[in-house]
Structure 1
Amino acid sequence: MRTAADTRFLVNETLALFGRLQTVRSFSLSTPMVLAAAVSAPAQAAINAHLAHVAFDLRRRLREFVRWLRSPESRRLSAANTQARYVLLKMRFNNLLDQVDIFADVLGQRSEHGTGTWVAGLDVLAEDALCLPGNYYAAPPLVCYLERGHGAAIRRARTRLPGGDLSPVGVIQIPRERLIGSGIASSLIHEVGHQGSELLDLTTSLKQAIEQRIAAGDRENALPWQLFSRWLNEILSDCWAMGHLGITATYGLLSVVSLPSYFVFRIGTDGPHPFPWIRVKISLALGEVLFPHPQWAALGRQWEELYPTDELSADKRDLIHRLETALPEFAALVLNHRPKSLRGQRVADIFPVAERQPDQLRALFEAWQQQPHLREHVAPSLVFAVVGQAKADGRISTNEEARVLSHMLNRWALNRARNYCTAPVAPAPVPTPSLQTV
């Protein structure tokens, strides 16, 4: 039987939790930044509405719990069972704080001078890479933030947050050390590819196609295809970057996987990532199909000179040979695949392949040298593709590359802010619970 002291303790603890909940406020009231550095209006609205909904529901549950504690009905439960109910509410509150911290990481650095607008420009690049012609899906808002470390990552929209709620936006983590150069687009659009591939259900569809290929082929040569299937999620994301950036995608990948030889040839067959040496080769094979040009073979030879296979064990050399032999057929299978989600189109058709051919990119670079303002009227991913191709050709220095891309990131962020400021006023939305009132 629960005592009066037990009830008083739990009521006080619940009310204290309610009081701490009052301190969780809308980011609109707590994150100072210049307008150009802000996340997009849809992203800001989605984040605030999501957190307000969670906080409003928790406030309602806390009030109901206090009323229940004070009712005669609750006294039939033991102190231990009542405590267990309170602990669940406390855990839910901590889940809310975890979610607030996730979005605070995104929004907090927007107040950093210079960095904030660069990151806002990366938001625009990410949204450009996710927006496909054909209306195959409703693209969720994407927001970026910088983090220490070597790799990028994404918390996809509509995946679980702490506590089980679905994330209202895609959150992309970018390594700070990659600002600013064309290589950052490779990492960023790779992560966008995870979101896009999931929205199109490409991994599931292609796995089925690979299984059919294995069933119809020589069982003794099934291992390369089994590995491609295991690595497919990462390969499709690399393909997404390749389709938007051309050779810029592979050079960005080279920067990420340029590690000591032990790690480059560390062949793990049970993880989601291809080992670095073959991952570069897969990127080259995809590039050769999408953008036929001698530059892919030249870059492949350079990669082999940087990381020769001569001193590897016979087993490793044999596996690498078998994977390389299967690569042309695998690349063609991926890019010519027609999943139901694309309504008859091939995977290759969703990317802007025609305007990203090497000669096209070089022609644009020459035109922009004469008239720099022209690059301000094209898709952000095209700007990175052109600059990355020029860098691969030795036509632009790293200093000039950084200057141009820094200017463009700021320009995209400023243009987005201006567009929101000048957009027609929409009808007032249905009111949602406000964080500042919880």
Structure 2
Amino acid sequence: MEATSAAVPLLDGEARALLTRLDRVKPFALHETMVPAAAPTPQAQAAVERFLLTGRRELRRRVAAYLAWLAGPGRTASPQLAQRRFTVLRSRFNGVLTQFDLFQEAITQRSERDTGVWLAGLDIAAADALTTPRTPLHTPPPVLTYLDHGPGAAIRRANTRIPGGGRTPVALIRMPRERMVGYGIGASLVHEVGHQAAALLGLVDSLRPVLLDAELTGRDPAERAAFAYWGLTISEIVADFWSVGQLGVAGTLGLMGVVSLPRRFVFAVVPDDPHPMPYIRVRLSCALGDALYPHPQWRALASLWSALHPPAPLPRNLMLLLEALESTVPRFVDVLLNHRPPTLGGLRLADVMPLASRRPEQLLARHRYWTRRPELLRRAPPTLVFAVLGQARAAARITPEVESLLLGDAITHWALAGTLATTQRCAGARPEVSAGTAGS
């Protein structure tokens, strides 16, 4: 009984201390400073605040229930039971703080000079990349981008589980700081958006059984192994398809920048890794680009990639797999682009891409026109801007310095345009500044 009487006030104090810490967790709108143009979209900020507020309310309810139990039945319960219940409560408390910290990093960066405005502009670009002209996404999730270190981008897709419990209310995209240059910006961003689009459209689940179908793979063991590999890595391949489909050659060049690694990594096959071998991944991106937007540039780029990373010599088993993958690329590309998932209502996967505006010659013609009328670049949809400038860079029409200057100006404008549009919608006025619409 002495231990029980001592445990109750101790654990009562600990539980009440959790509440005092919880009281210091304020909504981001009350303690984050940022210029209006750097703010997340109202949809994203509202979704995050609602999610965190719900978690805090639920935790308060649990703490109150625990304190009531301590004051009642808990007074005669064993110290072990009281401690076990408190441990569960504290675990939930730490989960709420973890969720707050997860979003705080993305929100706090909006207070950084220039960085915050760029992130807001990338939010607009990501939203544009998520909804193509023929994609049936009537209510796409809000997007929130932030910067971090590391060689590759990543995404926490909307409605997926996060640490501490619950499901994230936004698509949270992490952009590597070292990728915030040239066509690497658009390629990394749109690749991650591709993961979100694939989840919303159920592309991986509908494609994987097709790739493992015996009628497709036939009796050849090498061909079966190749299509099994395509099936294993289809989630990353679909995201690469989304990037090259939206951005043209800028998507492939951006991918090359990420996977231009030491040779042992370029030809590495890691068991159960959803990322394709970098060498074949770039070759496949070129094949996808050529199938969507036929042009000699794709074969030239594939040849250049092979010259930069010659595939021989390699161990025999790896060489056999590589040969099987290379031989099945045309057939695999045909299956992928002509796939008709149930969510697209009979459309092919290729049909959701802006096929009418991304051919290389069209992009270069648009770049020439924008050179004479630069104000049109600001009015164009972000994905089209990425595609045009990437194509112009690939054709040596602009230098890396000019590309970065134009992209920086465009991204800043998207942030400003988004802010003015939101303000004027709230005021009931028609926005005068536009960041473009998807598929123009």
Letter in 2 for 1:57: E
CA distance in 2 between partners of 1:304 and 1:11 (Å): 67
- 1:214 CA displacement: 5.1
CA distance in 1 between partners of 2:26 and 2:217 (Å): 59
Instruction: Identify the residue that residue 370 of structure 2 maps to in structure 1.
Output: 368
- 1:149 CA displacement: 1.2
- 1:344 CA displacement: 0.4
Structure 1 stretch displaced more, 300-309 or 135-144: 135-144
- 1:275 CA displacement: 0.9
CA distance in 1 between partners of 2:374 and 2:135 (Å): 32
Change (3 A) 1:104 1:425: same
Letter in 2 for 1:15: R
Aligned ranges for residues 28-427 of structure 1 at < 5 Å? Answer: 28-71=29-72, 73-134=73-134, 136-137=136-137, 138-213=139-214, 217-220=218-221, 221-424=223-426
Measured against aligned partners, the alpha-carbon deviations of 1:125-146 in whole angstroms (never above 9, x if no partner) come to: 1111112334623210011001
Structure 1 stretch displaced more, 247-256 or 135-144: 135-144
- Give the TM-score, by structure 1 length: 0.94
- Give the TM-score, by structure 2 length: 0.94
CA distance in 2 between partners of 1:315 and 1:219 (Å): 16
Letter in 2 for 1:161: I
Structure 1 stretch displaced more, 360-369 or 137-146: 137-146
Letter in 2 for 1:168: P
Whether contact under 8 Å (2:154, 2:174) holds in the other structure is yes
- 1:298 CA displacement: 0.4
2:7 corresponds to 1:10: no
Letter in 1 for 2:14: E
Whether contact under 8 Å (2:130, 2:197) holds in the other structure is yes
Change (3 A) 1:404 1:194: same
CA distance in 2 between partners of 1:34 and 1:356 (Å): 35
Letter in 2 for 1:156: R
Whether contact under 8 Å (1:47, 1:168) holds in the other structure is yes
- 1:377 CA displacement: 1.5
Whether contact under 8 Å (1:180, 1:406) holds in the other structure is no
Letter in 2 for 1:59: R
- 1:404 CA displacement: 0.2
CA distance in 1 between partners of 2:129 and 2:270 (Å): 30
CA distance in 1 between partners of 2:374 and 2:203 (Å): 38
- 1:164 CA displacement: 1.8
- 1:269 CA displacement: 4.1
What is the DSSP-based 3-state SS (H/G/I as helix, E as strand, rest coil) of the residue aligned with 1:65?
helix
Change (3 A) 1:134 1:289: closer
CA distance in 2 between partners of 1:406 and 1:10 (Å): 54
CA distance in 2 between partners of 1:108 and 1:214 (Å): 53
% identity of equivalent residues: 43
Whether contact under 8 Å (2:135, 2:352) holds in the other structure is no
- 1:297 CA displacement: 0.6
What is the DSSP-based 3-state SS (H/G/I as helix, E as strand, rest coil) of the residue aligned with 2:146?
strand
CA distance in 2 between partners of 1:194 and 1:135 (Å): 14
- Number of residue-to-residue matches in the alignment: 425
Letter in 1 for 2:13: N
- Structure 1: runs of 5 or more not aligned: 427-438
Whether contact under 8 Å (1:227, 1:269) holds in the other structure is no
Whether contact under 8 Å (1:387, 1:401) holds in the other structure is yes
Q: Which has the higher contact order (CA 8 A, sep 6+)?
A: 1
What is the DSSP-based 3-state SS (H/G/I as helix, E as strand, rest coil) of the residue aligned with 2:213?
helix
CA distance in 1 between partners of 2:322 and 2:405 (Å): 40
- 1:425 CA displacement: 5.8
- 1:317 CA displacement: 2.3
What is the DSSP-based 3-state SS (H/G/I as helix, E as strand, rest coil) of the residue aligned with 1:3?
helix
Whether contact under 8 Å (2:217, 2:227) holds in the other structure is no
CA distance in 2 between partners of 1:321 and 1:332 (Å): 18
- 1:265 CA displacement: 1.1
- 1:239 CA displacement: 0.4
Measured against aligned partners, the alpha-carbon deviations of 1:391-438 in whole angstroms (never above 9, x if no partner) come to: 000010111001100000000000011111111469xxxxxxxxxxxx
CA distance in 1 between partners of 2:265 and 2:152 (Å): 15
Measured against aligned partners, the alpha-carbon deviations of 1:254-289 in whole angstroms (never above 9, x if no partner) come to: 100111111111223431111110110111111111
- 1:216 CA displacement: 5.8
- Structure 2: runs of 5 or more not aligned: 429-440
- 1:225 CA displacement: 0.2
Change (3 A) 1:203 1:135: closer
Structure 1 stretch displaced more, 97-106 or 268-277: 268-277
Give the aligned CA root-mean-square deviation in angstroms. 1.4
- 1:82 CA displacement: 1.1
CA distance in 2 between partners of 1:277 and 1:119 (Å): 31
Whether contact under 8 Å (2:8, 2:74) holds in the other structure is no
CA distance in 2 between partners of 1:267 and 1:396 (Å): 36
Whether contact under 8 Å (1:92, 1:163) holds in the other structure is yes
Whether contact under 8 Å (2:153, 2:188) holds in the other structure is yes
